[in-house]
Amino acid sequence: MRLFSGLCLFLFSGLLLAAEPTPRPKPQRFAKEIAVFAAEPAEKGGIVFTGSSSIRLWKTLKEDFPGLPVINRGFGGSVANDLIVFFETVVLRHQPKILVTYTGSNDLNAKLSVEEAFQDYMRFLSQVHEKLPETKVVLTSVKISIKRKSQIPQVRELNQKLQSWAREKAWVRYVDCDHYLADAKGEPIRDYYANDLLHLSPMGYAKWKEILEPVLREEWAKVKP
């Protein structure tokens, strides 16, 4: 009886451990970067790009979308939980008419499950819609990479979840921005990646811009003053 009780306690403890959420990276690591954003004038009513380093490293953002009031509020290494924590600074104070989001890859790399990464992203987007109900969200797909090749199945599963979630929401537009990164066999194409094999090369950004520009111009025509 004592052995049975001990076995039950062991199994129950294992279930509790299995149910523990994966720790998220500490948002405080971005304190200085967010302080810089907070010190800048809050341009309002435009198009805010936010998310991780793929956004932060888009150095030619304004030049790539001439005539559109784009603002870069990406911070490298961030996950969806960081967007939730710093929502007021990177999104709310700008009152954007359009919000372009990119996150997810770092979440998976931080050992979050696909479901955890998805739920964090949904919490962020729900926060956006609650505080900014008139804002249109352009939800860009999570990109695959050579450096994180082992995570490609999880990336594709996460993208499927994001696309399905966005399908019935008029305030969200899901845009497949990473299909060009793979060849016919689904393997990442080297030319589209920087030397670190993780971030995009200038050619990669040119393709991303080619996909996003008609979407942004179409959406901006609907909401511009």
How far is it, in rounded angstroms, from Cα 127 to Cα 124?
A: 5
pLDDT number for residue 225: 73
Choose among 59, 52, 71: nearest CA to 120: 52
Q: Is residue 134 part of a domain?
A: yes
pLDDT number for residue 2: 53
**Max Cα–Cα distance, the chain, nearest Å:** 76
pLDDT number for residue 18: 52
How far is it, in rounded angstroms, from Cα 31 to Cα 39?
A: 12
CB atoms within 10 A of CB 143: 26
Q: Is the pLDDT of residue 9 over 90?
A: no
* 17-51 pLDDT tens trace: 456 899 999 999 999 999 999 999 999 999 999 99
One-letter amino acid for residue 207 of the chain: K
pLDDT number for residue 15: 46
Q: Is residue 111 part of a domain?
A: yes
| 66: containing domain | 44-223
CB-based burial of residue 97 (10 Å sphere; 0-12 exposed, 13-18 middle, 19+ buried)? buried
Number of folded domains that form the chain: 1
What CATH number did the domain enclosing 196 receive?
Answer: 3.40.50.1110
Measure Cα distances from 50 to 137, 180, 193, 221 in Å: 11, 22, 20, 21
How far is it, in rounded angstroms, from Cα 218 to Cα 214?
A: 6
Q: Is residue 25 part of a domain?
A: no
Q: Is residue 9 part of a domain?
A: no
* 76-112 pLDDT tens trace: 899 999 999 999 999 999 999 999 999 999 999 999 9
Mean pLDDT of the chain: 93
Q: Tell me, what DSSP letter sits at residue 150?
A: G
- Mean local confidence (pLDDT), 126-152: 97
Q: Is residue 159 part of a domain?
A: yes
Q: Is residue 39 part of a domain?
A: no
Predicted TM-score of the model (pTM): 0.90
Q: Is residue 28 part of a domain?
A: no
Q: Is the pLDDT of residue 4 over 50?
A: no
Percent of the chain with pLDDT over 90: 89
How far is it, in rounded angstroms, from Cα 109 to Cα 94?
A: 29
Q: Is residue 81 part of a domain?
A: yes
Please give the backbone phi and psi of residue 140, each rounded to the nearest 5 degrees, phi first: -90, 145
Q: Is the pLDDT of residue 120 over 60?
A: yes
How far is it, in rounded angstroms, from Cα 108 to Cα 99?
A: 22
- Mean local confidence (pLDDT), 128-153: 97
User: How far is CA 3 from its chain centroid?
Assistant: 49
Percent of the chain with pLDDT over 70: 92
CB atoms within 10 A of CB 82: 28
pLDDT number for residue 20: 85
